[in-house]
Structure 1
Amino acid sequence: MYPGEPRAASVNIARMPGPSTSRYPMSSSEKPPATVEQFLQHLTQEYDGLSNRLKVIARHVETHRDQLGLEGIQSLAEACGVQPSAVVRFAKHFGFSGFSEMQRLFREGIAQQIAPGRAYNLRLRDVIESGSSSLQPEQIADEFIKGSIAGMQQLRQTLDSQALAQAVDLLADTQAIWIAGSRRAFPIAVYLDYALQHTDKRIGLFSALGSMHLGQIRSVREGDVMIVISFMPYAEETVQVAQQAVQRGARLIAITDSRMSPLAREAEVTLMVQDSATFGFRALTATMGLAQSLFVALAYRLELSYLPTADGAHGTQAG
């Protein structure tokens, strides 16, 4: 862990019994997580309270979740350097009956990973099959708005103010800022690129267009700052750029959804945000709010001029 990375509050959980105990402690819910995303959220929330061995398993599950539906318990145990019984304890801690039930959760997501183009159709079909086929457009909009409000409220409650201040410090003290984000995170990266152009910093956007990011990385210098944005499942190209930037001496600010994400492990500062999901579709409201907050806080620090131009517009104001 790099200095400056925020530490989540520890979660108090019951001490795990020895192997001879028939009852294993579960997480706060008696029911196992219903989705991989929910499971990873629980894992993140309880990570600090896990034993060292279970932390090793947790990190492996986070990093290799796309393989967990296919590898056996022995392979998982060997990869983590633990006994299979530790894997069983890990599964039961989170409410599963054992490894097989936990693995089944990950297997159910493999089809969507293999054919991501069908994911939206499948999610909409789930809504219809759940009895929601009579939903009117305004009802759908209302659900999304409520979900976005909930995401913003959660961000307000959980935002690490110290990490945000550290991120602003890094951005204020550098002459060059790079931004990397693709897929679902791409709109956030583009907004930050646009907004930061209103400062006197040198700004560069890694768009991954035509795989040109592999050449762009050569322009990153020691002392530069890179903002990387990605969420589960983490974009490989973004992770690759982040790792190479750190190797070249850049300082990393990660906007991500897990302390165990590959970006958080590379970052000097991590800003955590988890957007809501409505009908299986993830919002970007909270993430955009965080990105705007980061820029405006930096602009305030730099004391940007907002004097109106001759036509009445605000020449340096980012919309």
Structure 2
Amino acid sequence: MIDSLNADQLIQRIAEEYDSLSKQLKVIANYVEQHRQTLVLERITDIAAACDVQPSAIVRFAQRFGFAGFSEMQAIFRDSFNPPQSSNPSYRQRIRSLIASQDGPLSAGSMTRNFIGACMQGLDDLAGQIDDTQLEAAVQLLVEAENIYVVGVRRMFPIASYVAYALQHTQKRVHHLSGLGGMFHEQIRSISEGDVLIAISFQPYGKETRYAARVAVQHKAKLLVITDSQMSPLARGAQACLTVKEGTAFAFRSLTSTICLCQALFIALAYKLELNIEETKNVGGYDD
């Protein structure tokens, strides 16, 4: 079983068993998921220091998932290793180098270009890490949905608002859970089997979004989650989960990659719905 396991399957298994892990092992699980592309280069002592645990905890984590030790688990990530290109530094590396090289305050123009660079890095990461299977599953959920509910709070509120706006251009019945007037409970209570909730939430995961997801599951609705990690508390109950790692500059995370993914999701849905209409016309013997 372990011999045939790849990195994606291991991450999925960790996500499925995340709730049963101890607090220490959860910290390690998050680190493994976030650093999977370079894990083969790291020493067990470095990982332990980053997670603020003893090296023996890293060994216990590996054994928890059926490995003899850390080295055997580490080898699983060899195929997903993405070595840094010293001759072609990432935008993030360029931004940090630029900041370190400045003797005084940056101008507004310089800060803007730095932030744009972080956004571009995030988009590059998104393009390389998008899960086609999960994206197809997300589109199919929306195609089959009788009603689509959308929720995102605080930083994700404008993203949720855009998604609801875009979906209004289809024939789907769309409900934006804005919480206006403290009405989250009332806005979500009518969700039922056959409906889909799009829950958009990044760490620290808004309590209102988590509440809406629990209600959706209780009412046997489907859950489409857009989040930052497969270890997200929302991801583990989802029928489809799309993960996004945003670029960061000056301690601010951008929204560029998330809005790009949501726009792509809408376009894929609109295409699929239109394709279904065309196929129905052809079956009925109608021409354009």
Q: Provide TM-score, normalisation by structure 2.
A: 0.65
Taking every aligned residue pair, what percent have the same amino acid on both sides?
42
Tell me how many residue pairs correspond in the alignment: 214
How far apart are 1:153 and its partner, in Å?
A: 0.7
Alpha-carbon separation, structure 2, partners of 1:131 and 1:209: 45
Conserved? CA contact 2:27–2:51, under 8 Å: no
> Which residue of the partner structure matches residue 182 of structure 1?
153
SS at match of 1:199: coil
Alignment gaps of 5+ in structure 2: 1-5, 30-43, 55-98, 276-288
Counterpart among 255, 269, 273 of residue 298 in structure 1:
269
Q: Counterparts in 2 of 1:102-181, with a 5 A limit?
A: 133-181=104-152
How far apart are 1:209 and its partner, in Å?
A: 2.5
How far apart are 1:62 and its partner, in Å?
A: 9.1
Alpha-carbon separation, structure 1, partners of 2:106 and 2:18: 48
Q: Is 2:262 the counterpart of 1:276? A: no
Q: Counterparts in 2 of 1:88-103, with a 5 A limit?
A: 92=45, 94-96=47-49, 99=52
SS at match of 2:140: helix
How far apart are 1:211 and its partner, in Å?
A: 2.1
Q: Counterparts in 2 of 1:74-85, with a 5 A limit?
A: none
> Which residue of the partner structure matches residue 84 of structure 1?
none
Q: Deviations 1:113-133 (Å, cap 9, x if unpaired)?
A: xxxxxxxxxxxxxxx999664
How far apart are 1:191 and its partner, in Å?
A: 0.5
Conserved? CA contact 2:18–2:231, under 8 Å: no
How far apart are 1:144 and its partner, in Å?
A: 0.8
Alpha-carbon separation, structure 2, partners of 1:97 and 1:207: 38
Alpha-carbon separation, structure 1, partners of 2:50 and 2:258: 35
The 1:297–1:62 alpha-carbon spacing in structure 2 relative to 1, beyond 3 Å, is farther
Alpha-carbon separation, structure 2, partners of 1:222 and 1:300: 25
SS at match of 1:204: strand
Counterpart among 150, 154, 162 of residue 191 in structure 1:
162
The 1:225–1:97 alpha-carbon spacing in structure 2 relative to 1, beyond 3 Å, is closer
> Which residue of the partner structure matches residue 256 of structure 1?
227
Q: Deviations 1:202-221 (Å, cap 9, x if unpaired)?
A: 10011122320111121111
SS at match of 2:181: helix
Q: Is 2:196 the counterpart of 1:225? A: yes
Letter in 2 for 1:258: S
How far apart are 1:280 and its partner, in Å?
A: 0.3
The 1:248–1:54 alpha-carbon spacing in structure 2 relative to 1, beyond 3 Å, is closer
Alpha-carbon separation, structure 2, partners of 1:294 and 1:196: 10
Alpha-carbon separation, structure 1, partners of 2:209 and 2:28: 17
Conserved? CA contact 1:178–1:226, under 8 Å: yes
Letter in 1 for 2:202: F
Q: Deviations 1:180-208 (Å, cap 9, x if unpaired)?
A: 10111111100001000011111001112
Counterpart among 182, 187, 196 of residue 216 in structure 1:
187
Q: Provide TM-score, normalisation by structure 1.
A: 0.59
Conserved? CA contact 2:147–2:195, under 8 Å: yes
Conserved? CA contact 1:59–1:260, under 8 Å: no
Alpha-carbon separation, structure 2, partners of 1:296 and 1:98: 40
Conserved? CA contact 2:246–2:256, under 8 Å: yes
How far apart are 1:9 and its partner, in Å?
A: 1.9
SS at match of 2:257: helix
Conserved? CA contact 2:24–2:53, under 8 Å: no
Conserved? CA contact 2:151–2:200, under 8 Å: yes
Conserved? CA contact 1:62–1:261, under 8 Å: no
> Which residue of the partner structure matches residue 287 of structure 1?
258
Q: Deviations 1:214-258 (Å, cap 9, x if unpaired)?
A: 111211111100100000111111011111111111100000001
The 1:158–1:248 alpha-carbon spacing in structure 2 relative to 1, beyond 3 Å, is same
Q: Deviations 1:16-36 (Å, cap 9, x if unpaired)?
A: xxxxxxxxxxxxxxxxxxxxx
Alpha-carbon separation, structure 1, partners of 2:103 and 2:7: 37
Q: Counterparts in 2 of 1:8-87, with a 5 A limit?
A: 9=8, 48=14, 55-57=21-23, 60-61=26-27
